[in-house]
Each structure stands twice: as structure tokens, then as C-alpha cells.
Amino acid sequence: MATKSGLSWVTWADAHARNSSSIDDLVEPFRSNATKFVAALMRAGATVSVTTTKRSARRAYLFHWSWKIALGKCQPSEAIVAADVDIQWDHGDAAASRRGAQEMVTGFGLAVPPRSVNAPALTSNHIAGAAIDMDIFWTGTIKLKDERGVEVSIPFISDVNANTALHAVGASYGVRKLVTDAPHWSFDGR
């Protein structure tokens, strides 16, 4: 019997549909590229917190539909059924359905507008092991070396999506920024 959406699904996902936050779980050559980029950031004085690398497809499913339903981007009845996730998105009441989905969005810590205007993808570079979510912080301006060893001065901008100098250095390593999702970098920028 299907279980209604809500916070209990975060606990379920943590046990049965885990995320990895280890760069070692990424696929090559993205693993090596991300490792080099993160190391360069840290050598320059940045603090890097990797939150997600490889993601379970079941977890991606829960992320996608909870985000869309909670933000009113679709009706609960529009959620596609997943054979291996026995969740009931439609509680029979629109407000209750949205509350259950919002509990999941909050519990998973999903980025919502303005940090991200995109619903988490059902088919993602994370599932393939070719994406990394990370928070990057520093104060003032750092001197960050690109992949060729050229030093680039990069001031801190709180909106990482607007920091084009940082994006260019990441791209030199083969780690490209998705500019509509604050923590997300991947092999192709999607």
C-alpha cells in the first residue's frame, strides 16, 4: 500500500536511496577534473563543502516530484508512478498534498527559487556520476590557478551563479557551472 508523501520519505531515502558526497564516486574523467578543481580552490583559500556527487535514481524521483508539487508547478496527480517507490503524492486534498511535498523539499534541503529555478532532474548528471553540488566560500579576492596554471584573481560574489570568473576557471578543469542552480557543476554544465 502506498505511503503518503511527507517527511518520512526523507528518512526512507536516507536508508534506501542514498546520495554520495564523495568525489571518489564520480566517473572518470569527471572525477579527476573535479578533484583538481576542488584542490585548486582550497589551495587558493576557498572553503569547499561537497554536498552531492552520485545520486540514486529513486532519490532523484523523490526530489523532482516533491519540488514540483510543493512549488505548485504540477498537480500531485501528474506525478509519474515509479515501480520501486511506493509513494502517494495525491492525498485527496490539494493543500495536504502540497504540505507533504513541502516537508520533503525542506527535509531534503532542496534549492528553491531564487537559488534554483529548475526542478531537480529525473535523469541527471548526478545519477550518471558526472555532476557535483558544492558550496564554495572565501572572503575578499582569491588567486585561483586554472588548469594550465595561470593565476586568476577572483573576488567573492555571494551569488555563485553570477561569478563568471569562477565559472571560467572551473571550465578550464572540465567542471562547468549550471548558472540556474547555485550548487551544481557538471561535465557539460547541465
pLDDT in tens, 157-172: 999 999 999 999 999 9
8 has pLDDT over 90: yes
State mean pLDDT over 12-20: 94
Tens digits of per-residue pLDDT, 91-140? 999 999 999 999 999 999 998 888 888 899 899 899 999 999 999 999 99
Q: What's the confidence (pLDDT) of residue 41?
A: 98
Q: What's the confidence (pLDDT) of residue 127?
A: 95
pLDDT band at 21 (very low <50, low <70, confident <90, very high): very high
pTM: 0.82
85 has pLDDT over 90: yes
Q: Cα separation of 166 and 170, whole Å?
A: 6
Are 73 and 89 in contact, with CB atoms under 8 Å apart?
no
Q: What's the confidence (pLDDT) of residue 79?
A: 97
Tens digits of per-residue pLDDT, 130-158? 999 999 999 999 999 999 999 999 999 99
pLDDT band at 83 (very low <50, low <70, confident <90, very high): confident
11 has pLDDT over 90: yes
Q: How many domains does the chain have?
A: 1
62 has pLDDT over 90: yes
Tens digits of per-residue pLDDT, 35-60? 999 999 999 999 999 999 999 999 99
For residue 139, what are the domain limits?
A: 3-186
Q: Which string of DSSP letters, residue by residue, matches the chain?
A: --EESSTHHHHHHHHHS-B---GGGSPTTHHHHHHHHHHHHHHTT-EEEEEESSB-HHHHHHHHHHHHHHTTSS-GGGSPPBTTB-EE---SSHHHHHHHHHHHHHHHT---TTTB-SPPPSS-HHHHT-EEEEEEE-SSEEEEE-TTS-EEEEE--S-GGG-HHHHHHHHHTT-EE-TTBTTEEESS--
